[in-house]
Amino acid sequence: MRRSWLPAALALAMGATALAVVLVSNRPSVQRLDLPAPGEAVAALAPSGRPLWVIAHVDGSVSVLDAFSTHSPYRINKTTWWCPDSRSIEDPGSGALFDEGGAKIFGPAPSGLRAYPAHVEGGQIVVDGAPEPRPVAEPAEASQDRSCRPPDAVVHDFSSLALGESPIAAATSEDGRWQRVFGTLIPRPELGSAQLCGTADGAACTEIVIPEMADYRPFPGDGFGPDPWTDASWLVRAEDGAIVEIAQYVPPD
């Protein structure tokens, strides 16, 4: 059975256009992003391919947020979506909600979304540092009208990322960028790892070290468990011949 945190209907909403991210030649650690219109949020990709939220607040300030939810059981990332009507960010798998500045509103996420240091300069957003973690936050009540569903939600389009031929090929990628790959994830909690395989029968697999897997306990209705997550689309990033980060997403087609 295919496991996915996002409903199949999300594919209809995957056409959101990502903002271009340009490296400043004389300051390689700095990124410049196009500035959205006041009050708007745009799905963007960092040079590494990692998803970001670029948000222009109505008061003139800006936020650049990591778009992976901080609720990441087994250290498996999940993409979030932007709800324009409520101006909130939602993890559709766990139901965790974050406000437009990334602070946690509700749900099982341990903290708010990580925020990049950013400011407006010359009509663009300048990002000049690594994302900063948020303090642990306690759960809070939230009304049902904060949540949104496709086609109203804004989501990331990852079609510009390279598509790996197989999990093994993705693991041996040398550029350290995020890429897409299709396959089955087989949890191995007793080993503190998982196998990402090209097929559901366990062929053409690569090992991913996930120590946290041995300790995770799903909360009621979470949908996580020890069974394989079959025939799913993944984002992966490899270093030194091994996958070091993984996230699940729903492709646009």
Note the pLDDT tens digit of each residue in 204-252.
899 998 877 766 665 555 555 556 778 888 999 999 999 999 998 876 5
Q: ∠ at Cα 22 (169, 30), nearest 5°? A: 100
Residue % of the chain over a pLDDT of 70: 76
Residue 111 has pLDDT above 50, yes or no: yes
Please give the DSSP secondary-structure letter assigned to residue 13. G
Average pLDDT for residues 64-75, to the nearest whole number?
Answer: 90
Average pLDDT over residues 22-33: 51
State the DSSP code for 166.
Answer: S
Q: What is the pLDDT of residue 144?
A: 47
Strands 77-78 and 242-249: parallel
pLDDT at site 55: 95
Instruction: Tell me the average pLDDT across 59-73.
Output: 91
Instruction: Return the pLDDT at 67.
Output: 96
Tell me the pLDDT tens digit for each residue of 149-200: 777 889 999 999 999 889 999 998 877 899 999 999 888 878 888 899 987 6
For residue 245, the SS3 value is: strand
The per-residue pLDDT for 181 is 93
Instruction: Give the C-alpha separation, 51 to 113, whole Å.
Output: 12
pLDDT at 141 over 70: no
Average pLDDT over the chain reads 79
Which domains are present in the chain? Answer: 8-146 (2.102.10.10), 167-249 (2.40.50)
Taking a C-beta distance cutoff of 8 angstroms, is the pair 101, 66 a contact? no
Task: Count Cβ atoms below 10 Å from residue 20 Cβ, excluding itself.
Answer: 10
pLDDT at 7: 38
- Residues 40 and 57 sit within 8 Å (Cβ to Cβ): no
Q: Which token pair is 153?
A: 């939600």
Q: 188 near 249, Cβ under 8 Å?
A: no
* 168 CB burial (10 A radius; 0-12, 13-18, 19+): middle
The residue that leads in pLDDT, 153 or 2, is 153
Give the pLDDT of residue 28.
Answer: 37
Q: Looking at residues 21-28, what average pLDDT do you find? A: 32
CA dihedral for 228, 232, 235, 236, sign (positive or negative): positive
Band of the pLDDT at 138, cuts 50, 70, 90?
A: low
Please state which of the ranges 90-94, 113-117, 225-229 shows the lowest mean pLDDT: 225-229
Rounded CA gap, 85 and 64, in Å?
A: 19
- 64 DSSP β-pair partners: 54, 116
Q: Say what the pLDDT of residue 134 is.
A: 81
Question: Which residues does 40 contact at the CB level (< 8 Å), separation at least 6?
Answer: 55, 56
**Mean pLDDT, range 94-100, rounded to an integer:** 90
pLDDT for 146 equals 57
**What single string gives the DSSP state of each residue in 34-99?**
EPPPTT-EEEEE-TTS-EEEEEE-TTS-EEEEE-B-S--GGG-EEB-EEETTTTEEE-TTT--EEE
Residue among 220, 213, 162 at smallest CA distance from 191: 213
Question: Residue 192: what are its φ and ψ, rounded to 5°?
Answer: 65, 40
